[in-house]
Structure 1
Amino acid sequence: MRGRSVSGTIFDSINHLFMLLILLVMMIPFVYVISYSLSTPSMLKGGIVLFPVGFTFDSYRKAFADPAVLKGVYISVARTTIGPAVMLLFTSMAAYVLTRAELAGVRFFRKFFVFTLYFSSGMIPMYLLMGYLNLKGTFLIYILPTAISVFNMVLIKTYIEGLPKELEEAAVVDGANNFQLFFKVIFPLCMPVFAAVVLFDCVNQWNAFIDTQIYNTMSPNLYPLQYVLYNTLNQINSLDQLREQGQTQMTAITPQTFKMAITVITVLPIACVYPFLQRFFIKGLLVGSIKG
């Protein structure tokens, strides 16, 4: 094989340096937040903090001592696990049904579902509907409205249509009914697209807080971690408030370091998982692409 030309080597080097620069610019805010949350406030002198000054975990101890944070972690983990599981079950079954050409009216149902991608009823009718269903102030408000995702349904439907029809025909010859055909033949073959849509939904569920603000504002025991962070960042914290909560050493923690610690607790779990699962997102985005 011929060696690379000098111009090609220079081009690759410039690309690498450029991407490293972008990575550095993107990482600086995260490093700043983490370093600030681990620093002793009395030793901070302003400016950007890239390394902890007076290393301390006091802000995190204070954060985890707050019952709202612990409850928020529980609610966020619960909705991030239960929500995607329910969504996968119902959405995948609906997607499989839409692939059945022999189903009466299947073309109408396909257009009906796609229509909802472009038009919605709006916030007020949705709010009234949730009230009529008695879902406001309950944990189910995080699960049932997202049980069907039309976007994910289209991805799964497209993937199923690309599977060999001979597999279904062989299962039918062996006496499999529709449920056996789906759960024992189709379901195992759809793991790549299932992984993609579940990860999409996990990220959405973990980051969601608007639904809490709309439907569960009066139910503090149902606040997810993101909404706890939202409230913390919007509160006018003061040293007097911290003193009322039992904080005696005012130099060990300030409202700003407390906010930074809450931010890290909220962002870190999904930030650690996302890079390792990025390939599933790419596979999900490529579902339905033209294959040679």
Structure 2
Amino acid sequence: MTEPVKWVPDGVDEEVPSAARLYDYLLGGAHNFAADRALAEKFLSALPSARDVARLNRAFLRRAVVFMGQHGVRQFLDVGSGIPTVGNVHEIAQAADPQARVVYVDYESVAVAHSQLLLEGNDNAVIVQADMTDPDSILQHPETRRLLDFDQPIGLIMAGVFHFVPHEADAPAIIARYRDALAPGSFLALSHFTADISPEEMAGVVEVMRRSSDPIHTRTHAEVSELFTGFDLVEPGVVGTALWRPDRPEQAEDEPGGSQIYAGVGRKP
């Protein structure tokens, strides 16, 4: 008799695709369903560089965590963390300091279940199931308060998630509630889809994602920059993911899909 798949929680509708599982598929992961893969293929038709876009966003996440660690951050709040794959925040942070602490947050049940499996036995990392548009439910969560010291700098990570927040929800105000809870010296690392570079392709992506549980809402450079209100942007500011402090600057300009997502890191003064 086949053992049940532990990463599929009870009550998950496998016929309804999700952005977390689509992203997992684009990154080469195995925690996705047929509906997610079907939607991902349509996503790829609209944006042929989608796998590169996902890879570059993940690479930005790694560089941002390393950067924050180099500037003294030893605790991280990864909001909208998704399904764990290669190069998770706790792996990067704890490679530099085994005592680094990480709170992951996601509302998608498969992402939470798989994170729980991955984090078994790791006392310095935890997953909280919550909606990122309700900051208090995250900031005041007992597990968040257990692991994170809000009197010390925190690395707040929002990589590739706020394009799921509609404009009418006032994303800058939501992020401001997180910012106000952080100590001076904390950082915000954020990346976000834009239609500035390839408006026709991104219009196709937006249309494809209308059929999922997570529609996409692109923002302009000015709108993404506004999300950093109250933070001092570090160089090079808000740029395409491939251009944010690349490991190989000479190759960054030629990365396919390198400017479909804006990325930046800001420090709270």
Answer 1 or 2: higher relative contact order, Cα 8 Å, separation at least 6: 1
If the length of structure 2 is used for normalisation, what is the TM-score? 0.27
If the length of structure 1 is used for normalisation, what is the TM-score? 0.26
Q: Which has the larger radius of gyration?
A: 1
Identify, as 1 or 2, the structure richer in helix. Answer: 1
